Structure 1
Amino acid sequence: MLALAAAVAAPAHAQPYPNKPIRLVVPFPAGGATDIFARAVSQKLGERLATSVVVDNKPGAGGSIGSDIVAKAPADGYTLLLATTSTHSIGPSFATSKLPYDAVADFTPIAHVGSAPSIMLVPNSAPVKNVKEWVEYARKNPGKLNYASSGNGTIVHLGAEYFKAQAGLFLVHIPYRGTALAIPDLISGKIDVLFDSLPSGLPHVKEGRLKALGITSAKRSPLLPELPAISESVPGYETVTWFGMYGPKGLPADVVSRINTAVNQALQDPDVKDRLARLGIEPAGGTPQQFAAMTDADRAKWKKIINERKLQAD
């Protein structure tokens, strides 16, 4: 009887990966940049893996709640994470003792999916037309203006703190569980400024709900050539958000290779490339080793900025 049970069970166990739906955890709310990115690539990724890829939003604590879910998931390739600069570069450098996971030891790098700059957004009611005027306005009102973030230790938080340090400003931090949740308050004027990722912030600018004053990339974006780089008014300022895919630690090499190949293929799909371009996202791709090296370098860069500027959590 035992031999018969083993014989029946063996073929099911030996089925090639994947043989059921894959859960892609997004550690930020629906409507934010990470969510938009995940939904832009998940369908094509699923087609190449011959299964469905289900986006599952698990926001909170600057992305650490969703990240921790994946860190503690079985290493079978059916629970993946779309991570960002916030969860795996800034978070570990900013508040290592507070994170429930180790950004290096608890994950298996799979692929660098893409990168995007952010834009400086203000309410339409703001009495300014550009970054220079906003800086002057903030200097005349020290401590009276605030900025929103997607949580402590995120790229949105640190990007704003870096801006404060470079421009010599005093602004009050108002953390949210994601930038999508902060947008209504920014539109109403309860929030004075938000450094939101281009994919999630741009639609509000195009539809006339918010004003964009500058972009955080070193140079102007082809998508918004009329929008100045913030560095034109605040020299040396630059931040870019990367998006990448991880699995739990111990993910088998053949599974990593299978997903990495599918990600690279999906990023080359004309529909995906067109959609990402319209969102202001630059597709990446490459090997897991290249992804790991990139995140190591980015983590070191942010650690240096945090230490030099004495940036602190609230």
Structure 2
Amino acid sequence: MQFNRRTGMLALCCSAAFAAFTSPLSWAQDYPTKPIHIVVPLPPGGSNDVLARVLGQKMSESFGQPVIVDNKPGAAGNIATAFMAKVEADGYNIAVAPNQTVAVNPVLYPKLPFNVNRDLTGITMMGRVPMVLVVSPDKVQATTVAELIALAKANPDKLTYASAGSGSPQHMAAEVFKSMTGTSITQIAYKGSAPALVDVLGGQVDVMFCPMNSALPHIRSGKLRALGTTGSKRVELLTNVPTIAETVPKYESDIWIGMVAPAKTPKAIINKLNAELRRSLALPDVQAKLAEQGIYAETSTPAEFTKLIADDQKRWAAVIKSANIKPE
């Protein structure tokens, strides 16, 4: 009997020790023990890529492990999202998540091989990228948002705007603008933001809602005229340019970018990643690097970011239905 009692106690102690060693908290304390991959759903060079590389460097320094940026562009970001929905939920694959991929695409595309709300979970909001409403100065005489609205109303369907394709931030910003101003401006869709901008610069297209980092050099050179920014407040890099909301009350259509992980990633690891990303985004040198690209750091709790995704899906679903937007 004594032998059985001792054996049982030993087994119980071993079981407790094993449970502690394999618990999610233990994983988080040891994490990371190998390279972390940050998946970016768009090509190199844009705001999503800049955020991933700047923060990846800081994470590597803090964690003592390599942080590798994996660009997986294609299908409007759906290729990367599908990959994240199936990858192992161990914290070693996380993804940059702009609003297009996690808030617009899920309500734009009727059949996707994943469910964002079921398969992914938020880590943190990382930043916002205001867009700028720009016009070709040689082709469009409007110098203010009010003048552009008047011009569009006087010439329905004659003005054109460039977008990076159906469901892109440029497209959605324009559709919200048209809905709120009662204007009719014709979309010219391109396969990406770069070719769209080229044709606005060349005067082939009249108008574009352009990401700040892409528009700035051309605004400064005089090749584009900035009429308004899409955020709720003026941006430091263009203090003389009003927000569109100063003319069209409550208008807002920034690009926001966050970080997500597979839904079953241990909460302790999510919290550790959240703390590290928020620490990095608060650093003055990081904020300065991002601001140079027109990216404004903004963070959140995991729950807040997950809620933002769900709330924005409802918002864009209403816009898509109202404007009868179809995927390409």
What TM-score range do you get, normalising by the shorter chain? 0.7 to 0.9
Deviations 1:204-263 (A, max 9, x none): 323444222111123322332210111233343221221110112311223222221210
- Whole-angstrom CA distance in 2 between matches of 1:17 and 1:269: 22
**Per-residue deviation at 1:266?**
0.8
1:91 aligns with 2:66: no
TM-score, normalisation: structure 1 = 0.85
The answer to which structure has the higher helix fraction is: 2
Does 1:245 pair with 2:251? no
Alignment-mate amino acid for residue 265 of structure 1: R
Q: Work out whether residues 132 and 211 of structure 2, in 8 Å CA contact, stay in contact via their aligned partners in 1.
A: yes
Deviations 1:35-61 (A, max 9, x none): 233333221122222223222332233
Counterpart-to-counterpart distance in 2, 1:232 and 1:253: 42
Number of aligned positions between the proteins: 300
Q: Pick from 100, 116, 120: which aligns with 2:133?
A: 120
Once the two structures are superposed, residues 183-218 of structure 1 have per-residue CA deviations (whole angstroms, 9 ceiling, x without a partner) of 222212233222122233323323444222111123
Q: CA deviation at 1:311?
A: 4.1
Residue 165 of structure 1 corresponds to which residue in structure 2?
A: 179
Describe the shift of the 1:98–1:190 C-alpha distance in structure 2 as closer, same or farther (beyond 3 A). Answer: farther
CA 98–265 in structure 1, closer or farther in 2 if over 3 Å, else same: same
Distance 2:266 2:204 in 1: 48
Question: 1:25 maps to what in 2?
Answer: 39
Whole-angstrom CA distance in 2 between matches of 1:37 and 1:121: 24
The 8 Å contact of residues 130 and 214 in structure 1, kept in 2 or not, is answered as: yes
Contact 2:55 2:280 in 1 (8 A): yes
* Residue 301 (structure 1) shift: 2.9
Helix, strand or coil at the partner of 1:104: helix
For residues 297 and 87 of structure 1, the distance between their equivalents in structure 2, rounded to whole angstroms, comes to: 14
The answer (yes or no) to whether the contact 1:116–1:282 under 8 Å persists in 2 is: yes
Q: Does 1:137 align with 2:151?
A: yes
> Residue type of the partner of 2:96?
L
Gaps of 5+ in 2: 1-26
Provide the rounded CA distance (Å) in 2 between the counterparts of 1:260 and 1:207. 39
Whether the 8 Å contact between 2:140 and 2:206 is mirrored in structure 1 is no
What does residue range 27-106 of structure 1 map to in structure 2 within 5 Å? 27-95=41-109, 97-106=110-119
- The corresponding residue for 2:231 is 217
Secondary structure class of the residue paired with 1:220: coil
TM norm structure 2? 0.81
Which residue number corresponds to residue 10 of structure 1? none
Larger gyration radius, structure 1 or structure 2 = 2
- Name stretches of at least 5 consecutive residues in structure 1 with no aligned partner: 1-13
1:297 aligned onto 2:305: no
Encode CA deviations 1:173-192: one digit per residue, 9 max, x unaligned.
23334323422222122332
The amino acid across from 1:28 in the alignment is: L
1:234 matched to 2:252: no
Matched residue type, 1:287: T
Query: For 1:83-118, what per-residue CA distance to the aligned partner results, in whole angstroms no more than 9, with x for missing partners?
Result: 1111112222333x2333211111121111122321
Percent identical: 38
SS at match of 1:56: strand
Letter in 2 for 1:113: M
Secondary structure of the structure 1 residue equivalent to 2:201:
helix
CA contact (8 A) 1:42 1:54 kept: yes
Structure 1 distance, partners of 2:231, 2:111, is: 29
- Alignment pair present for 1:16 and 2:30: yes
Select 1:108's aligned residue among 121, 146, 152: 121
Q: Counterpart in 2 of 1:313? A: 326
3-state DSSP class of the match of 2:130?
Answer: strand
